[in-house]
């Protein structure tokens, strides 16, 4: 992956990049649409269109929104971002001999100059700026009938959802961040101070509240109505997730209640991430990848040893040498006997006589040079059930939500009670511990675990993280001792380039 060494403001202030950034801030990609699938965001970048000539009708607005969807691939589909999210947690370990900056992120020793952090910052703010450009122009687009008007309003809803996603990523990673809600088009408006976490969350909630009022329940298929676009239920699910992260459990529960019964758990857990199995009855929102248009997912093959890829017949191959990341020692032991999620998530391979594990949740046997035909599922119904249980707290109803997920995990009907599988108040652990354990089993390697840990009290999160550090790295990287992770490390440092080019207007997080 090519990492841009400049952040958005830095690019705006560099003469060499000036023309490129003005184009970026004032342009959108013209991309093709397809008939009735989620291929609508497959990018065919013929040229960049000046916003003065673009956005003249509702169709052009949809093309612009498609480009914002497509830019999510560059954020969520790369190893660097995966390292900042899932590998950061106790689910995954870095091999210690990987790229230095990825290793530092895993061992909580990253600095403000870490290029992975710069990359995540830049890509999210580029997406936000393009979203801001769309939102600034959308209300001025003329329309001739109610269909065109509805399309404009829906496009606004989609864009606000995607912007909310980006800010949710930023605020959970960096804490206070600059809150940009207008397009950055010149140097005069390039520098903003950081806004408080509370204000950023308020903006996210406002975006999602608006999106809910503008988005449809579902899509019928066909051009401009492709399945895979953001729905009202996706916005309600993300709102519930955001409110839960904020600690507002009552409102989170209310938002999630709107989604209960609108989707269903797939009968077979392994089908969730199977190649080509996009937008299932359980899926609420996905980041789309499509090898037919040279935009397949490549991240997953980095989890697979080359010898295993050869044995399985994966044309694209796997990773030669030590894997950049692999299941942690602890995560391999969290599954009960009979839990089908274990085999669907983790596999073993023979590494010169030593049996080791690798992440096998996202395998496309047919994957070749264009990548895998696998979407990254960002929101799904099991998440709704478990978040609702967490928000509501211990009760018979909450245990029933958890048990629906558990029953499916053991190959049983989610709606039929099973004393051999079901848990209740008498089961070991606190209620929160039981919810978190079930979330960890259900969403292992899907990018949820880190922000789940952030919802815990700092002392509990740090105890989990430090235990993971000792188990994985004692005697490996540090000769018998590992640094004790401090509370300030629960959020990342602000990229130093952002601070430098702002002349100190943007400040650093304490401790970094």
Q: Which residues of the chain have pLDDT under 70?
A: 1-39, 42-54, 187-188, 475-480
- As a whole number of angstroms, the distance between CA 440 and CA 443 comes to 5
For 240, residues 6+ apart whose C-beta sits below 8 A from its C-beta are 252, 253, 255, 256, 259, 384, 387, 388, 391
Give residue 22's pLDDT.
Answer: 36
Give residue 99's pLDDT.
Answer: 83
Give residue 262's pLDDT.
Answer: 98
Under DSSP, the state recorded for 285 is E
Give residue 14's pLDDT.
Answer: 40
User: Alpha helix (H) ranges present in 393-444?
Assistant: 396-409, 431-443
- As a whole number of angstroms, the distance between CA 235 and CA 379 comes to 10
Give residue 52's pLDDT.
Answer: 54
- Say if CB 380 and CB 272 are below 8 A apart: yes
Domains of the chain, each with CATH number or no CATH? 1-221+476-512 (1.25.40.390), 293-366 (no CATH)
Count CA atoms closer than 13 A to 254's CA, side-chain side: 6
Count CA atoms closer than 13 A to 356's CA, side-chain side: 21
Q: Each residue of 301-318: b (16+ CB within 10 Å) or e?
A: bebbbeebbeeeebebbb
3-state secondary structure string, 350-379? EECCEEEEEECCCCCCCCECCEECCCEEEE
Structure tokens at 388: 């609702």
């Amino acid at each position: 992956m090519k990492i841009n060494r400049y952040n958005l403001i830095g690019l705006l202030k560099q003469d060499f990049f000036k023309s490129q950034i003005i184009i970026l801030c004032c342009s959108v990609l013209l991309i093709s649409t397809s008939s009735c699938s989620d291929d609508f965001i497959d990018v065919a970048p013929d040229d960049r269109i000046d916003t003065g000539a673009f956005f003249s009708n509702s169709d052009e607005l949809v093309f612009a929104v498609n480009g914002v969807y497509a830019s999510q691939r560059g954020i969520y589909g790369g190893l660097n971002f995966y390292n900042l999210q899932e590998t950061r947690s106790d689910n995954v370990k870095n091999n210690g001999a990987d790229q230095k900056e990825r290793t530092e992120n895993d061992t909580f020793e990253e600095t403000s100059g870490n290029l992975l952090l710069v990359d995540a910052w830049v890509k999210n703010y580029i997406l936000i700026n393009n979203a801001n450009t769309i939102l600034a122009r959308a209300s001025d687009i003329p329309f001739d009938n109610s269909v065109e008007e509805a399309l404009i309003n829906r496009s606004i809803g989609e864009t606000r959802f995607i912007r909310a996603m980006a800010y949710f990523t930023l605020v959970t990673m960096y804490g206070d961040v600059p809150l940009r809600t207008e397009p950055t088009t010149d140097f005069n408006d390039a520098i903003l101070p950081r806004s408080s976490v509370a204000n950023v969350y308020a903006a996210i909630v406002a975006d999602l509240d608006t999106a809910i009022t503008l988005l449809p329940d579902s899509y019928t298929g066909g051009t401009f109505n492709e399945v895979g676009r953001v729905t009202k239920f996706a916005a309600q699910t993300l709102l519930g997730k955001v409110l839960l992260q904020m600690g507002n459990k009552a409102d989170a529960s209310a938002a999630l209640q709107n989604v209960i019964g609108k989707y269903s758990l797939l009968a077979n857990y392994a089908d969730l991430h199977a190649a080509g199995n996009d937008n299932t009855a359980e899926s609420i929102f996905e980041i789309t990848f499509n090898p037919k248009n040279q935009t397949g997912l490549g991240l997953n093959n980095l989890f697979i040893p080359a010898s295993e890829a050869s044995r399985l017949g994966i044309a694209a191959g796997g990773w030669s040498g030590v894997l950049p990341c692999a299941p942690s020692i602890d995560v391999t032991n969290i599954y009960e006997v009979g839990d089908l999620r274990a085999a669907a998530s983790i596999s073993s391979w023979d590494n010169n006589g030593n049996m080791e594990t690798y992440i096998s949740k996202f395998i496309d046997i047919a994957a070749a040079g264009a990548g895998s035909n696998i979407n990254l599922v960002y929101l799904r119904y099991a998440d709704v059930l478990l978040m609702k249980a967490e928000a509501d707290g211990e009760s018979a109803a909450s245990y029933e939500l958890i048990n629906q997920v558990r029953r499916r995990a053991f190959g049983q009907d989610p709606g039929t009670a099973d004393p051999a599988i079901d848990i209740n108040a008498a089961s070991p652990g606190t209620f929160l511990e039981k919810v978190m354990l079930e979330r960890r089993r259900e969403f292992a390697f899907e990018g949820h675990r880190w922000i789940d840990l952030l919802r815990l009290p700092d002392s509990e999160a740090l105890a989990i993280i430090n235990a993971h550090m000792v188990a994985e790295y004692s005697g490996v990287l540090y000769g018998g001792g590992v640094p004790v992770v401090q509370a300030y490390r629960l959020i990342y440092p602000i990229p130093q380039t952002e601070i430098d080019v702002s002349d100190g207007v943007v400040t650093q997080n304490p401790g970094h």
